[in-house]
Amino acid sequence: MTGTYLVKRVVFAFITILVAITVNFVMFRALPGDAVSGLRCRQCTVEFKRAQIHDLGLDRPLVVQYALYMRGLAHGDLGRSLRAPYPTVTSSLWEPIKKTIPMITLGTIFSIVVGVAVGVIAAWRRGSLVDRGATGATLAAYAMPTQWLALLFVLYVAGWLGLPSSGVNDPDLQVAQVLGTVSWPDLAWDQFKHMILPALAIGIVFAGDYSLITRSALVETLGEDYVLTARAKGLPPRRIIRRHALRNAMLPIATLMALSLGTIVGGVLVVEYVFSYPGIGLAVVEAIDKRDYPVLQGAFLLLTVGVVLANLIADLIYPKIDPRVTLT
């Protein structure tokens, strides 16, 4: 990897984040009303709202607001929440993010492992009944709305498997945790059981995407001369796929890993709402209901930065996966 390639990708990612910050700032200022107009409480008099508007700097010119916003971001300050139980946006989003990351990780691992495995089998047995069945199943999974699948899990799967359908911890264990009478493994196992169904709802849908991409890339790769030569030498199918075909088909799979992060985040918003899972998705939905614009602005910014960084990482590992990628 050349230094020029690295600098170009990092600069492009920085510019993308800067544009996202600007659009994020303008978008919430362009909405009708402001972050204070939706307040509904006994003490929310006209004078109180005026004081809040002045305290948040919403009565200043947009250029001044933008400069203050950028200065706050430079110091890691995402603003102050209006409704959340925490005083700052950062503290309001930190706890939900800590709960969402393990669930997204579990769902992503499931989708990659299952999707790639099904795609490999379908590509190797292309044209057979196995290929048609696997392709049909993956197309059905790919077409499923995540919220619809999540509702099916809540209604029919959770009770059948004895898995929790809401929350992130059993209430009794939460009390025991406060009292210090529960062990860490029991608490971790309880949290794992609560994230299984949300992770599966996300993982099954995106497993179809990975399967289709893997099959398409492998079908093309399996027709190359070097694969035909390996098969003519009598190499076992597992070795041909692992060391020759799959390795050269990893570029579109790696691209999908980076690009799917944004779609996964979108799926998390509705899945967490269905399961009442207290992650970033449920926090965003509650902030919409409460019109807590600072929290929404901070959440969208963090999610956007996450997607941009994932694509940057994908750009940087392309040359390692496939040396044929031009480093320009």
pLDDT digits (tens, 9 = 90+) for 293-326: 778 888 888 888 888 887 788 777 777 766 665 5
Alpha helices in the chain (DSSP H): 3-30, 46-56, 62-74, 89-124, 129-143, 146-152, 158-161, 171-179, 184-221, 225-232, 237-240, 246-248, 250-275, 280-290, 293-321
pTM over 0.85, yes/no: no
At 189 the three-state DSSP class reads helix
Buried b (16+ CB within 10 A) or exposed e, 221-234: bbeeeebeebeeee
Query: Is 156 exposed, middle or buried (CB count within 10 Å of its CB: 0-12, 13-18, 19+)?
Result: exposed
Cα distances (Å, whole numbers) of residue 117 to 114, 237, 315: 5, 14, 24
- In whole angstroms, give the CA distance from residue 266 to residue 202: 10
* Residues 140-162 pLDDT 10s: 888 888 888 888 998 888 888 88
What radius of gyration do the chain's Cα atoms show?
A: 24
Over range 157-186, report the average pLDDT: 76
Instruction: Give pLDDT, residue 238.
Output: 78
**Which of 76, 100, 78, 25 lies closest to 261 in space, CA to CA?**
100
pLDDT of residue 43: 64
Which two three-digit tokens encode residue 161?
Answer: 């498997």
Q: Which of 33-42, 169-178, 225-234, 310-319 has the lowest mean pLDDT?
A: 33-42
**The pLDDT of residue 243:** 75
Axis-axis angle for helices 129-143, 184-221 (nearest 10): 120
| Cβ within 8 Å of residue 160, ≥6 positions away | none
Query: In the predicted model, what is the mean pLDDT of residues 238-245?
Result: 77
- Rounded distance between C-alpha atoms, residue 312 and residue 279, angstroms: 25
Mean pLDDT value of segment 216-237: 79
Q: What is the pLDDT of residue 177?
A: 64
Q: Identify the structural domains of the chain with CATH numbers, from first to last.
A: 90-293 (1.10.3720.10)
SS3 88: strand
Mean pLDDT on 41-55: 71
pLDDT at 178: 64
Higher pLDDT, 87 or 100: 100
The residue type at 48: F
pLDDT band at 179 (very low <50, low <70, confident <90, very high): low
Average pLDDT, the chain: 79
Task: Record the tokens describing residue 206, joined without a space.
Answer: 């995106």
Distance CA 175, CA 196 (A): 22
Q: Using CA atoms, how far apart are residues 27 and 30, in angstroms rounded to an integer?
A: 5
Cα angle value 324/214/147 (rounded, 5°): 130
Q: In the structure, what pLDDT confidence band is assigned to residue 42 with cuts at 50, 70 and 90?
A: low
pLDDT of residue 327: 55
Is residue 1 predicted with pLDDT exceeding 60?
A: no
**pLDDT score of 141:** 83
Q: With contact defined as beta carbons under 8 Å apart, do 251 and 325 qualify?
A: yes
